[in-house]
């Protein structure tokens, strides 16, 4: 028998805007004893295998469907029965990819129900999602210099150059490290590029008029400087977002700014060269989204450098793609974006499956975000040792600051997650 305070009494959806100024759906869930409000994020470099974010009529149609199709089915249910809620969302939608109600609609409802349930139960969201023993804080993987689809004009070809403060002893130290590297990188960019104006891309990362390698040189120096000041290791990662560079007709990766063209073999060698030269700890989507074999080749070759090879567009948080990737040993880490798959239960299942095959799960934001802090709870509750959520920008900082609050709430039992041996 559900506590009466957990019964869903009403669900309301409205149109709001995300950090890119694009329309987004916001959902409010009212239980007898609580309330949850969640806005869906939105990607710019989306994988082809992701669920469909909105029905063909966009956010307006999604809102209409929440009131006419979804709310009548969910009102009266127990908000703490997340599996049931998410099953009903799939049933109401009736398609394999949420194209009827929209994956973003499903995500906002699924998460808002979880938030309302935790409020009704009077416990933090991470505890509701992960149980009372969840106590490990993720390391923040933060985007410092960006390019690709996240910037306008002549940025680096590679989408994200990130930092991971592997030597930090607690969240406060980890956040300080990322903020300091971001600041230092900005100062160094101003020296490296006299025309640098301090412009930033969609995720708050600097968007300089430099090539990928030039930008990495700057970031490497910034990490060295801040590591020296703070006395612990800060390592570099990349999100190549290689599907954005892939030209099917040419059968090659086109680096427009650099004026380079690389076939699969050259791409693998280029990435391995960057891993070695910049001591990279992490490379996401180094190859286009369907090249599981290429991923497997790179994953094998990157082992000796202890560098995580991570699939984002490759896996899209999708069960079948994860199973395929595990069979081929295509990666050593996986990006988890709940709106790629639509519900919290699907994301939790993806994490469980990925972990069973040795993949490190990384909870991730989208480039178009809301100021919701809940990704931090998802990372702690579902035990992701790394959270990828940018460095600067209110919508990024909202999640980072929430990590501090979670750590404070946990008190003495809080500890940093154990990074995988590849990343130690």
- List contacts with ligand 2PG (CB under 6 A): 43-46, 160, 203, 239, 241, 312, 335, 364-367
Exposed e or buried b for every residue in 401-423, given b needs 16+ CB within 10 A? ebbeebbeebeeebebbebbebb
Q: 305-344: which residues touch Mg ion (CB under 5 A)? A: 312
Indicate if 28 belongs to the active site.
Answer: no
- Write down the least CB distance from residue 207 to Mg ion, Å: 17
CA-based nearest residue to 79, from 105, 110, 48, 104: 110
Q: 59-98: which residues touch Mg ion (CB under 5 A)? A: none
Helix (H, G, I), strand (E, B) or coil at 328: helix
239 binds Mg ion (CB under 5 A): yes
Q: Label residue 58 left, alpha or beta by phi (over 0 means left) and psi (-120 to 50 means alpha).
A: left
Residue 182 binds which of ligand 2PG, Mg ion, none (CB < 5-8 A, kind-dependent): none
Catalytic residue among 203, 289, 369, 402: 203
Nearest CB to Mg ion, comparing residues 284 and 291: 284
**Contact assessment for residue 85 and residue 129, using Cβ atoms and an 8 Å cutoff:** no
| Dihedral sign for Cα atoms in the order 138, 139, 144, 147 | negative
The closest residue (CB) to ligand 2PG is 43
Residue 43 binds which of ligand 2PG, Mg ion, none (CB < 5-8 A, kind-dependent): ligand 2PG
Nearest CB to ligand 2PG, comparing residues 51 and 92: 51
Nearest CB to ligand 2PG, comparing residues 157 and 203: 203
d(CA 86, CA 94): 12
CA-based nearest residue to 366, from 210, 159, 95, 220: 159
CA-based nearest residue to 164, from 93, 227, 231: 227
Residue 65 binds which of ligand 2PG, Mg ion, none (CB < 5-8 A, kind-dependent): none
- Write down the least CB distance from residue 421 to ligand 2PG, Å: 24
Residue 394 has which token pair? 């209110």
DSSP letter (8 states) at residue 290? T
Residue 44 binds which of Mg ion, ligand 2PG, none (CB < 5-8 A, kind-dependent): ligand 2PG
Catalytic residue among 28, 127, 160, 337: 337
Residues in the chain: 424
- Write down the least CB distance from residue 138 to Mg ion, Å: 17
Binding mask 270-289 for Mg ion (x = CB under 5 A): --------------x-----
Indicate if 399 belongs to the active site.
Answer: no
Q: Label residue 132 left, alpha or beta by phi (over 0 means left) and psi (-120 to 50 means alpha).
A: alpha
Nearest CB to ligand 2PG, comparing residues 203 and 291: 203
- Write down the least CB distance from residue 144 to ligand 2PG, Å: 12
Nearest CB to Mg ion, comparing residues 28 and 284: 284
Residue 274 backbone phi and psi in degrees, to 5: -65, -40
- Write down the least CB distance from residue 167 to ligand 2PG, Å: 23
Cβ neighbour number for residue 390 with a 10 Å cutoff? 29
Nearest CB to Mg ion, comparing residues 8 and 236: 236
- Write down the least CB distance from residue 408 to ligand 2PG, Å: 27
**Contact assessment for residue 181 and residue 218, using Cβ atoms and an 8 Å cutoff:** no
Catalytic residue list: 203, 337
Q: Which residues bind Mg ion (CB under 5 A)?
A: 239, 284, 312
């Amino acid at each position: 028998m559900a506590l009466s305070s957990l019964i869903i009494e009403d669900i309301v959806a409205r149109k709001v805007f995300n950090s890119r100024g694009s329309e987004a759906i916001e959902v409010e869930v009212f239980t007898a004893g609580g309330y949850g409000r969640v806005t869906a994020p939105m990607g710019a470099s989306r994988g082809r295998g992701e669920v469909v974010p909105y029905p063909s009529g966009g956010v307006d149609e999604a809102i209409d469907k929440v009131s006419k199709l979804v709310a009548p089915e969910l009102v009266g249910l127990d908000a703490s029965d997340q599996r049931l809620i998410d099953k009903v969302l799939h049933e109401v939608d009736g398609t394999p990819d949420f194209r009827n109600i929209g994956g973003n609609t499903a995500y906002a409802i699924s998460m808002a129900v979880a938030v309302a349930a935790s409020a009704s139960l009077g416990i933090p969201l991470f505890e509701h999602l992960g149980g009372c023993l969840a106590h490990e804080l993720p390391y923040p993987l933060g985007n410092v210099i960006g390019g690709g689809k996240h910037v306008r004009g002549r940025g680096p070809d590679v989408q994200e150059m990130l930092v991971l403060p592997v030597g930090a002893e607690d969240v406060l130290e980890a956040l300080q490290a990322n903020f300091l590297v971001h600041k230092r990188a900005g100062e160094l960019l101003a020296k490296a590029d006299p025309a640098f104006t301090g412009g930033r891309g969609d995720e708050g990362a600097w968007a300089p008029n430099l090539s990928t390698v030039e930008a990495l040189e700057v970031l490497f120096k910034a990490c060295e400087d801040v590591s020296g000041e703070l006395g612990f290791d800060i390592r570099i990662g990349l999100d190549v977002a290689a599907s954005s560079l892939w030209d099917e007709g040419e059968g090659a990766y086109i680096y427009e700014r650099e004026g380079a063209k690389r076939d699969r073999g050259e791409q693998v060698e280029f990435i391995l060269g960057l891993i070695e030269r910049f001591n990279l700890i992490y490379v996401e989507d180094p190859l286009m989204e369907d090249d599981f074999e290429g991923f497997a080749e790179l994953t094998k070759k990157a082992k000796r450098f202890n560098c995580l090879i991570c699939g984002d567009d490759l896996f899209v948080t999708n069960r079948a793609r994860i199973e395929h990737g595990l069979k081929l040993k295509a990666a050593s880490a996986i990006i988890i974006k709940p709106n790629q798959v639509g519900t919290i239960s699907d994301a939790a299942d993806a994490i469980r499956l990925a972990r069973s095959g040795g993949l490190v799960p990384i909870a991730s934001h989208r480039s178009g975000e809301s100021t919701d802090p809940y990704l931090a709870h998802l990372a702690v509750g579902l035990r992701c040792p790394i959270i990828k959520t940018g460095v600067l920008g209110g919508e990024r900082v909202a999640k980072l600051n929430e990590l501090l609050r979670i750590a404070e709430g946990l008190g003495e039992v809080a500890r940093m997650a154990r990074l995988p041996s590849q990343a130690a």
